Amino acid sequence: MQRSFPDVVSAKRVVAACGRGYSGRMLDFAAQYAAFQRRDPAWDGIVFVAVKTTGVYCRPVCRARTPLARNVRFYGSAASAERAGFRPCLRCRPEAAPFCPAWKGTRTTVERALALIEAGALDRGNVEALAGRLGVGARHLSRLFAEHLDASPLQVALSLRVQRAKRLIDGSELLLALVAQRAGFSSARRMNAAFAKLYGRSAASLRRKRPAVTMQRTPMEIGNGQELRHRQCGTET
């Protein structure tokens, strides 16, 4: 029988958790599971829900059937769920989830680091260089990421890279080599390796099939085509 939890989560608790920098250890399981049961959008981007029986992690707003509580684990970032061996849900697309509001409007070291990583700091550099730009040591920065995101800076950077690539694959017709370049991968081969490890399939196989676009011909184009055929027939006879 599926275990049920009372609705013990208020908006104030969510905001407070984000204001401190979310960690899955800060809120009890019942609160997180209750939010997941009701598909609370206030938690989108704050927690990620992993299902042990499927090996998939989702956004808390995912419309898939709610799994049993004993089969669920919660993570504070997509990167931490991926580090634990879970792959993104293809239905709710965790790569489209917003960042936790904790990183908005507060000039924290983690916020600044995330902004630099999003801008490609670790696509072209290393953690030591990133930490130097922030005025902290690399070990201290890694500790902050572990505390707030349950993942290392490099794991977060790879997760963001894959997320950018997935959005481009879903929303554009760019060649995969260009997708890899724009997403921050050094090559399409490295992008494919990341997708194979995370999704268990190639990047190309995740591209959504779109219906072919049928070009509508104008009356003038139709008339010109008929005239051309008449001329060709007249030439041949």
Q: Domain residues of the chain, as ranges?
A: 11-96, 101-152, 155-206
Q: What is the mean pLDDT of residues 60-78?
A: 93
CB 43 within 8 A of CB 96: no
In CATH, what number does 11-96 get?
A: 3.40.10.10
Q: Which CATH architecture has domain 155-206?
A: Orthogonal Bundle (1.10)
- Rounded Cα gap, residues 232 and 15, in angstroms: 74
Closest alpha carbon to 87 in 52, 115, 37: 52
pLDDT band at 5 (very low <50, low <70, confident <90, very high): very low
Best mean pLDDT range from 11-20, 141-150, 184-193, 215-224 = 184-193
Q: Is 118 helix (H, G, I), strand (E, B) or coil?
A: helix
Q: Do 92 and 63 contact (CB within 8 A), yes or no?
A: yes
- State residue 225's pLDDT score: 46
Quick check: helix, strand or coil at residue 50?
Answer: strand
- Do residues 185 and 221 lie in contact, with contact meaning Cβ atoms separated by under 8 Å? no
Answer whether 11-96 and 155-206 agree in fold. no
Answer whether residue 2 shows pLDDT above 80: no
Per-residue confidence (pLDDT) for residue 107, from 0 to 100: 52
Largest CA distance in the chain: 87
Per-residue pLDDT reduced to its tens digit, 176-189:
999 999 999 999 99
Distance CA 58, CA 47 (A): 9
Of the chain, the percentage scoring pLDDT greater than 70 comes to 72
